[in-house]
Amino acid sequence: MAGEVPDLNQLGHRAPRDVTMRLRHEVARLLQRDSTSFPGAQPVSFSKHHIQDNLLQQDYYVCEKSDGLRCLMYLTAERNQDQHEEQAVYMITRKNEYFYINDIYFPRANDIKEFNRDCLIDGELVFSKSPETGKSEIKYLMFDCLAAGFNTLLVDRFYDKRLAYLKSFIYEPFKRLCTDYPEDTIVFPFKATMKHMDFSYGLQQVFDVLQPKLGHISDGLIFTCRTSPYVSGTDRNILKWKPSEENSVDFLLTLDIPVYQPDGFVNYDTKPRFQLNVWYGGDSNKPFGELYLTDDEWETIKALNEPVDERVVECYKDKEDRWRYLRFRDDKTNGNHISTVESVLISIDNPVTKDDLLDAVPIIRKNWKLRDHERQLKHQQHQQHQQKQQGVLKRPIEGNEMPPRKK
């Protein structure tokens, strides 16, 4: 069963429509995009061919996959009632909604009195148990940086460079602020931190050391290519791996409620039929299957006193091949696209196991080291070539020696 996720309405408030439209255009200009759609990258489900085609051929980072609320953080500047500029922090959901976050501040690296602006960070909000107090707290786990200022667009940089900017320009100044002013920053609605990244051949460390110590729920791994740019929308160089029992699909749920015959009145006392619909793009949703709910599960859902019809629901397959309820996904407007559903079904029917990944680690490490050695050789050759060219240009002309003529 999936865990609860933080509620943005409790951390701030949703921006009005006119403000949201303005912010969408601001972010599009910042990223030099024509589209004002949600700018976040979406991973693809891990299949067996990804070991050979991706992990063995390219450098990948790996981190744990958190079970939280995915959202981008936008740091900008707005004028207050006194017409003075101050920092404004917004969270952007997958629905492309903007939530203004109260009482939090991200300073610049060189001056705590100056605030970061024109920055866009990718991350996930989670409930995490504090190792010091044992109490639950909200954390924003940052794992990518699209822009670190209007003149510092990062989407075309390698992933390790984006992480370096994220650490130096966003995370470390925020961390110093919290360390130096603990009484002032304790009121922040969440703590911002960076996700721990390992090289792809460090999988054993992630499984055995990192995941057991997490204060939040983790349901898999994320592999991100080191040399790929940041891609808005589906990015086939970001791979989402889950154990077979954790694989899930998001569907649009619709209820087929029976009616009394022959008068046609709706029969709310009888459990309805729960139809699961797959998204085909645009406004197109087509029936795919049915959700199996026990009577007790249905009573629990009804007790929420919330709308159920035409709501996105996350489901998993049980051992009897039935789709079962995990949770509602109110952060999403549509269920998964049919291509994603088909990919997840492949992962369910032909799963990549933890042992499959660990068995590949030795050759992943070997190939990474070979590529690294080749990069070092090319770098040395480039440096030698430059030094040689500089030596030719700087060599003094002796006596009546003339430079050779071009033939």
What's the rounded Cα separation, in Å, for the pair 265 and 257? 10
Return the structure tokens found at 225: 């290519």
List 48, 65, 213, 286, catalytic entry = 65
What contacts 24+ positions apart, CB below 8 Å, involve 266-271? 271/295, 271/298
Q: Which domains does the chain have, with CATH numbers?
A: 8-243 (3.30.470.30), 248-349 (2.40.50.140)
Helix (H, G, I), strand (E, B) or coil at 212: helix
Specify which residues 192 forms β-bridges with.
Answer: 140
Ordered per-residue pLDDT tens for the chain, 407 residues: 455 889 999 999 999 999 999 999 999 999 999 999 999 999 999 999 999 999 999 999 999 999 899 999 999 999 888 888 999 999 999 999 999 999 999 999 989 999 999 999 999 999 998 777 778 999 999 999 999 988 899 999 999 999 999 999 999 999 999 999 999 999 999 999 999 999 999 999 999 999 999 999 898 999 999 999 999 999 999 999 998 878 899 999 999 876 544 554 445 567 889 999 999 988 899 999 999 999 999 989 888 888 889 999 999 999 899 999 998 998 888 999 998 899 888 888 888 999 999 999 999 999 999 999 999 999 888 888 888 888 766 666 555 555 555 54
Rounded Cα gap, residues 392 and 185, in angstroms: 58
How far apart CA 281 and CA 285 sit, in angstroms, is 8
Q: Are 48 and 352 in contact (CB under 8 A)?
A: yes
65 is catalytic: yes
Question: H helices of 114-153, where?
Answer: none
